[in-house]
Amino acid sequence: MERTATFKKDQFEQFFCLLKSFGKVFAPVRVSEKSFSFKSIESPSQIAFEALRTILPPKKFFFQQHEPILSYDENGIHEVKPETQQQVIFGVHPCDLAGLGIMDKVYTASPPDPHYIARRQATMLVGLSCMPDKHCFCKSMGTDSPTSDYDLFLTDIGDKYFVQIHSANGLNLIESMPDFFSRPEAQEDQTFKDFWTTRDKAFSSHFESENLPAIMDMEWNSQVWDDLGNRCLSCGNCTPVCPTCYCFDMVDVASLHANRGERVREWDSCQFVGFAKVAGDTNFRPGPVDRLKFWYRHKLHGFEDPHGLPTCVGCGRCTESCPAGIDDIVNVVLRLQGKPSILVTDKKKTQAGGCGTSCGDCQCDTADGDQHA
């Protein structure tokens, strides 16, 4: 059974010191008026506790945007060992924990990825409760409570945090400072339950997801895909921001004399025109309609693979970051289901010829050792 504890919010500094004893701490930091990014921090005063979705999800800590896998020279081929550090990712919301759960399935399946696994094993995940905004729909995807692997999860219950302890690492940390934590009193248990009941009622974006795979099969030739795809700019914004987009390309970077070089893994996007291009100049998904439909299918239906699950966790990042206003997943699903829309996106159709975003956020997320979007 999961264990629980509480500590006073005004003693967060001590809790932070405890986290630092495990490793380098990363947490959401405000990087512009409206955006947040997971960054290395030295003090709790840097944490943006109010952050909902960061520009990039925490997958960037494990599945890096640019990563040498092997190198070669006159002496042969050398495997590049993953660089790891003990680290704590603080402030991970339930949708992002679920996203990491899906990434774990993908990158630990046979053959397991040693780089991903080494980083995951060196990391403590500390979740934090949140209240949904108009783009959040994790409730629809069943990812609105912390159920995947995490170490500690903090729920805000007023002047205290209610701590769920979910791993041996988490328990060891709590037990290393027994006087700091208290056993929850009956009233605090109730306040914890009330928080999650209130949160459950706070979602304004919602759809019934039970029939999603069937709907996606049935509506494969729907006009919806043409309407959306013909407005898609193929900018690829929707994939790096997605907690569960895991595709990559392999690039060989040779020296001028070609006597040494590196094989590098880099994030790729199924929305890019070259993603499905193969020898003979054949492209299996030549147009944006094909590519957008493919992406939506992966997110909402899942592939016929051992995982076989929808991979959307309802974080709303793609909705917020699509410059053409077409990744409004809630309204797309409602339209496919033949139901009235419930949310009007504030994005306008953007002309092709540039991604069209005005936020500049991908630049923000390059700083401080973070991975570029």
Binding residues (CB under 6 A) for ligand SF4: these are 232-238, 241-244, 271, 292, 299, 312-318, 322-324, 326-327, 329
Q: Tell me the three state secondary structure of residue 40.
A: strand
C-beta of 31 vs 238, nearer to ligand SF4: 238
Q: Which is closer to ligand SF4, CB of 126 or CB of 233?
A: 233
Minimum gap (Å) between residue 233 Cβ and ligand SF4: 4
The CB-of-288 to ligand SF4 minimum distance in angstroms stands at: 7
CB of 340 to ligand SF4, least distance (A): 21
Distance between CA atoms of residues 234 and 292, nearest Å:
9
Q: How far apart are the first and last CA of the chain?
A: 39
Q: Residue 68 or residue 213: which is nearer to ligand SF4 going by CB?
A: 213
**CB 127 to ligand SF4: min, Å:** 16
The length of the chain, given as a count of residues = 373
Pairing of strands 3-8, 277-278: unpaired
CA-to-CA distance for 49 and 34, rounded, in angstroms? 14
Q: Which is nearer to ligand SF4, 155 or 237 (CB)?
A: 237
- Least separation, in Å, of the C-beta of 38 and ligand SF4? 15
β-pairing verdict for 36-40 and 24-30: antiparallel
Q: Which is nearer to ligand SF4, 169 or 357 (CB)?
A: 357
Measured between alpha carbons, how far is 312 from 298 in angstroms, rounded to an integer?
8
Q: Which is nearer to ligand SF4, 18 or 56 (CB)?
A: 56
Contacts of 169-177 with CB under 8 Å at 24 or more apart are 169/22, 169/124, 170/124, 171/3, 173/18, 173/19, 173/21, 173/22, 173/124, 174/3, 174/5, 176/18, 176/21, 177/14, 177/18
Quote the least distance from Cβ 190 to ligand SF4, whole Å.
32
Smaller CB distance to ligand SF4: residue 165 or 238? 238
Angle at 87 between CA 368 and CA 42, to 5 degrees: 55
Select 92 or 326, whichever has its Cβ closest to ligand SF4: 326
Q: Which is nearer to ligand SF4, 232 or 373 (CB)?
A: 232
**Which pair of structure tokens corresponds to residue 185?**
């009193």
β-pairing verdict for 66-73 and 248-254: unpaired
CB 305 within 8 A of CB 285: no
Q: Quote the CA–CA distance of 124 and 28 in Å, as a whole number.
A: 15
Nearer to ligand SF4, 6 or 321 (CB): 321
CB of 373 to ligand SF4, least distance (A): 11
User: Are 79 and 68 within 8 A, CB to CB?
Assistant: no
Counting beta carbons within 10 angstroms of the beta carbon of residue 183, is it exposed (0 to 12), middle (13 to 18) or buried (19 or more)? exposed
CB 308 to ligand SF4: min, Å: 17
DSSP 206-259: ----TTHHHHHHHTTT-HHHHHHHTT-----TTTTTSTT---EEEEEEE-TTSS
Q: Encoding tokens for residue 257?
A: 């004399």
The CA distance from 262 to 70, in Å, is 6
Shortest spacing between CB 101 and ligand SF4, in angstroms: 12
Q: How far is the CB of 309 from ligand SF4 (least distance, A)?
A: 12
